[in-house]
Amino acid sequence: MERLKIDQDIRPLSEVRTGITSFLKQIQNTKRPLIITQHGKSVAVLLDVREYEAMQEKIEILHDLKTAIHQIDNGEGIEHQDAEAIIKAQIQK
């Protein structure tokens, strides 16, 4: 995801209502999120679907890494050779 440009990517809800098509094109072209404000406060974020999916994948990977680190710290991990044997056995099925 591209870095937010404050002067272009923060818009009040009233502008979004009247120009939604142009804002959708903007997020699709720039791959940057659009922050929507109401009464001067941030209330929502509009994202390109592919950018949202990429964020979800990254979150899942980070969650898996956190789980793995926790398991290793608690002595629940398995040796590399054992893991390799399990994977090879599953592939050969």
pTM: 0.69
Mean pLDDT in residue range 5-24: 93
Spell out the residues 6+ positions from residue 10 whose beta carbon is closer than 8 angstroms to its own. 4, 34, 35, 37, 42
Q: What is the pLDDT of residues 23-44, one digit of tens each?
A: 999 999 999 999 999 999 999 9
Task: Tell me if 41 sits within 8 A of 35, measured CB to CB.
Answer: no
Assign 69 a pLDDT band (cuts: 50, 70, 90): very high
65 to 1, 4, 40, 69, 84: CA distances (angstroms): 21, 27, 38, 6, 18
pLDDT score of 5: 87
Q: What is the pLDDT of residues 53-65, one digit of tens each?
A: 999 999 999 999 9
Spell out the residues 6+ positions from residue 29 whose beta carbon is closer than 8 angstroms to its own. none
